[in-house]
Structure 1
Amino acid sequence: MTFQATASGRASWCLALSLASVHLVSSVDRHIPTLVLSAIQLEFSLTDTDLGFLHGTAYVLFYAIAIVPVGILADRYDRRRIVMGGLIIWTIGTAACGLSQSYTQLVAARMVVGLGQAALVPTAISLIAESFGSRRMGRPIAIFTAAATLGRGVALFGGGVLLAWIINRGIPSALAPWRALFLLSLVLNLIALAWYFTTRAGPRAPGEVAPTRDLARAVAARWPVYLAYFGGAAASITLVQIIAAWTPTILVRSFGLTASESGLLFGPIVLSFGPAGNLVGGWVVDSLERRGVTGAPALANALSLIAAIGAGSILCSAQTLPIAVTGLMATTFFLGMTTPTGLVGIQNLTPPAIRGRVTALFVLCVTLVSLGAGPVVVGWLSDQFHDGVNGLRLAVLVAFWGVGCLGVLSSAAANRLDRTAV
């Protein structure tokens, strides 16, 4: 069963592109601290554990706490205003990062950033689904997810250039360069806010607001297919996190690159092949939907995962750097194709009245599984193999076949269950 929406095509695309710009900005603000952790550590005399808590835990803690309540709000109130409110909140948090005078203030500021950004994904995905309908949402959701990858690149590469300019040219104030970077990055926030403010979302469908108990009823009625979609998406995003976490180390250990060389090689691949995969994945889903293929997102995810397993095997078994890079490009592309499929599938399954809550739960569970299990399990496997040079590649290979095959089976089950429910 699918839920269609009627909205002007031009207005829908304007909304989707403005939401993508907000997603890009959120990714910039999420990753900007990566560039200046050393400077922050020096100024406040912090340990590596302190930095890890600041960069990851402080953000994720409030993000995880807030995302489900925000999903509830998104199902009851004006979604457009919720996104705008979230953007304003995390913009304030980013500004506070640049103005913080202690480690405690920095942690609090990062929590505010996480709190604000929790409002974005479930609300934005619900808006896109409402505006485009099930047969047209693949590409706009793919553009939305690709924007996050681009935002990470803007933060790391553009932020690096800006930081170098600040250091080399100086700025007419007493601000430390790392503080100036936080504050100057807010220009992007203001541009995204101004663009988003000019867009309009269509009205809610009649009778769309529903009590919370409808969430349990809707999920319980089709829990096997929801679980199967979750399994496929969790497997895909887990492999994405494994590649993001361990590829630079593989390039250093197995091919003799320096840390900076591995970053310069891996960064452009992520920035180009990741978003390209997102866009192609969305196009494939829409094409299958237009041909009347039921369970199209699950089918696209399964096929993309099969290709990613093969590409990942090339990366992990390559004996020369060019072959490894070829495998890495293909792996990044095919995993990029999987990224929008789970979100599209969940929107197709879920009535508009509870999309915010269901999407929030889906994103929360996938995030916790992929971030909490993927990279650390690969590290543990590598330690068990006791091979300093090739142990990590073998661990990643095992993860690709194990997690990837589970994802393929889950996606195949989701496709079958979706078809039999029609």
Structure 2
Amino acid sequence: MSATDIHTSRASHTVLALLVGGYASIFLGRQIMAVMIEPIKLEFGASDTAMGLISGLAFAVAYALMGLPAGGLADRHSRVRLLALCGVVWAITTVICGLAVSFPMLVVARMLVAVTEAPVTPASLSLIADLYPARNRSLAISCFTAAPTLSAIVGLSLGAWVIDTWGWRTGFHIIATPPLLISVLLALAVREPPRGRFDNPLHAGAPGLTLWRSAGQLLGNPHYRKLVAACAWFSFSGLAFAMWNTPFLIRSHGLSLQSAGILAGVVTGCSAAVGGLFSGWLSDRLNVRSPAWLLGLPLIGTGFTLLSMLLYLLWPPGIAFRVGAVDVPAAMLWCALAGFFTMWWVAPCFNLLTQMVSPWQRATAIALQTICTTLAGIGLGPLLTGALSDLLLPWSGGESLRHALLLVHLSLLLAMFLLWRLYRQQAFAPAQALPAT
């Protein structure tokens, strides 16, 4: 490796670290809602369905409305400057959440937060594709997508302690600070990399399509549609579980808010972070042998995720041991195993997506994917789980949330079916890449 390559590699790693830190800080605002559900519900007298609305659908609708324009901005303007601006405005809107004096005001504030988040994922992943070649991209993507699991550890464990001690409003005020610092570093220290420098020269030219024509071309590709639909089903079950796991441990295993938050954050967060990074590392190595592994690896991981999740949700209550003041149910073994495999789809699927499209369509393609996963995961996942829990209450009693989560996680079978169809159709083949114009 030449001195220039080493310098480029170090610079890429530095920018990646800032992107991971910024994404983790922003995603903390979503994760901490899981330990805010019970205190917010108590203060405003809200139902499970209403809490599913504020933690899910209201956020997702605002995010989706801004998603495509945000992707277009990232495809046509400086992604670094866009991310820096988003971090500043995100902090302001998060502080407003902590100042809410009514439930409707909090809903509106959460929607404003969603608007500022919309450009973050498409702009960041578009940058990563110009920081790393395809052969090393899965690991870099897995580092970025591991950010939510890192924020889950803080949001569900330390966040539970903060909220239990000082209240949910203070939680919002504290998490508003880190994105401001990272925005300053991005604005002052990071240069925009050349767009498409690692891509096929046929795909690396200037943009030739408007935003809406580009989106139409993407949606006209059946392989792209199937991949996005599979990602949406993954998010539907995964984010429903992330949002309701803490209340599940409280209701079905009799844990305190602090113990449940710590376990949900540390066990699920750590296992998901390790599993996601491992799948990214493994994907890069298997991809050298055959690009078919970009679909094969998510299929294997999803099978193990579904089996582990069913065992976790069906496991009877019972404390296996204590760690300090925290009671650890025996079921947490299966929760850790499910967490390890639940992120196996992310890095390979995103790597495949970045190779399907032109560099000048990449942020738009990721934005469309993010819109679908946000509506399905953040929007419908928590809301439908809460509604099912309310609906099953007359028959299931205190176990209604357990049964609701069981039904929601059967949706992983649909994601597996879509990935299998893509595998059979060889959607990983280079010939399926979309043209630039």
Pick the TM interval, shorter chain: 0.7 to 0.9
Q: Kindly state the Cα deviation for residue 331 of structure 1 after the two structures are TM-superposed.
A: 0.7
CA contact (8 A) 2:51 2:386 kept: no
| Offset at residue 330 of structure 1 (A) | 0.5
Greater Cα shift, 345-354 or 241-250: 241-250
User: What are the equivalent positions in structure 2 for 1:375-394 lying under 5 Å apart?
Assistant: 375=382, 376=384, 380=388, 383=392, 386-388=395-397, 393=402
Equivalent position of 1:60 in the other structure: 60
**Residue 173 (structure 1) aligns with:** none
Change in Cα spacing, 1:329 to 1:385, as seen in structure 2 (3 Å) is farther
2:269 is matched with 271
- In structure 2, the CA distance between the partners of 1:325 and 1:26, relative to structure 1 (3 Å rule), is same
Tell me, what secondary structure is at the counterpart of 1:209?
Answer: coil
Assess, with a 3 A threshold, how the Cα gap between structure 1 residues 404 and 7 changes in structure 2: closer, same or farther: farther
Q: Is the 8 A contact 2:79 2:123 kept in 1?
A: yes
Tell me if structure 1 keeps the 8 A contact 2:304–2:341: yes
Contact 2:156-2:261 at 8 Å conserved across structures: no
SS of 2:135 mapped into structure 1: coil
Q: Which residue of 2 aligns with 1:405?
A: 413
Distance 1:232 1:406 in 2: 7
Please name the residue that 1:119 is paired with.
Answer: 119
Counterparts of 2:276 and 2:246 in 1: how far apart (Å)? Answer: 22
Please say if residues 57 and 380 of structure 2, whose CA atoms lie closer than 8 Å, have aligned partners that are also in contact. Answer: no
Change (3 A) 1:377 1:179: closer
Matching residue within 233, 237, 244 for 2:242? 244
- Paired residue secondary structure (2:411): helix
2:137 aligns with 137
| Alpha-carbon distance change, 394 to 155 in structure 1, aligned in 2, over 3 angstroms | closer
Residues 25-84 of structure 1: CA deviation (Å, up to 9, x unaligned): 112234556666788789xx8442687665555533322211111111111111111111
Contact 1:71/1:356 (CA < 8 Å) preserved in 2? Answer: yes
1:244 & 1:37 partners in 2: Cα distance?
12
Residue in 1 that maps onto 2:186: 196
Provide, for residues 277-314 of structure 1, a one-character-per-residue CA deviation record: whole Å limited to 9, x for no partner: 221121122112222x1243221110100111221232
Aligned partners of 1:281 and 1:337 also within 8 Å: yes
Alpha-carbon distance in structure 1 between the residues aligned to 2:168 and 2:414: 43
Is the 1:378–1:399 contact (alpha carbons within 8 Å) kept by the matching residues of 2? no
1:157–1:360 Cα change, 3 Å: same
Q: 1:409: Cα distance to partner? A: 2.1
In the TM superposition, residue 243 of structure 1 has moved relative to its aligned partner by 2.5
Quick check: 1:54–1:110 contact (8 Å CA) kept in 2?
yes
d(CA) in 2 for partners of 1:294, 1:84:
35
Within a 5 Å distance, the mapping from 1:346-385 to structure 2 comes to 346-375=353-382, 376=384, 380=388, 383=392
Contact in 2 for aligned 1:12/1:201 (Cα 8 Å): no
* Bigger mean CA offset, 382-391 vs 329-338: 382-391
Give 1:86 shift: 1.2
Shift of 1:236: 2.1
Find 1:229's aligned residue among 227, 230, 233.
227
TM superposition score normalised by structure 1 = 0.81
More displaced stretch, 342-351 vs 118-127:
342-351
Instruction: Compare 334-343 and 120-129 and name the one that shifted more.
Output: 334-343
- Structure 2 stretches of 5 or more lacking a match? 1-5, 197-203, 321-329, 432-437
Aligned residues, how many? Answer: 401
Tell me the secondary structure at the aligned position of residue 294 of structure 1.
Answer: coil
8 A contact 1:209–1:353 mirrored in 2: yes
| Residues 378 and 412 (structure 1), Cα distance of their counterparts in 2 relative to 1, 3 Å cut | farther
| Counterpart-to-counterpart distance in 2, 1:253 and 1:98 | 26
Q: Contact 2:146/2:277 (CA < 8 Å) preserved in 1?
A: yes
CA contact (8 A) 2:143 2:277 kept: yes
Distance 1:93 1:295 in 2: 43
Identity %: 25
What does residue range 149-168 of structure 1 map to in structure 2 within 5 Å? 149-162=149-162
Contact 2:93 2:112 in 1 (8 A): yes
Which of 312, 329, 333 is the matching residue for 1:326?
333
Q: Which moved more, 1:148-157 or 1:115-124?
A: 148-157
Question: CA deviation digits over 1:189-216, x for unaligned, max 9?
Answer: 2321233231233122452323122443
Q: CA RMSD in A?
A: 3.5
**Counterpart-to-counterpart distance in 2, 1:94 and 1:393:** 31
CA contact (8 A) 2:156 2:262 kept: no
Structure 1 regions of 5+ residues with no counterpart? 1-5, 168-176
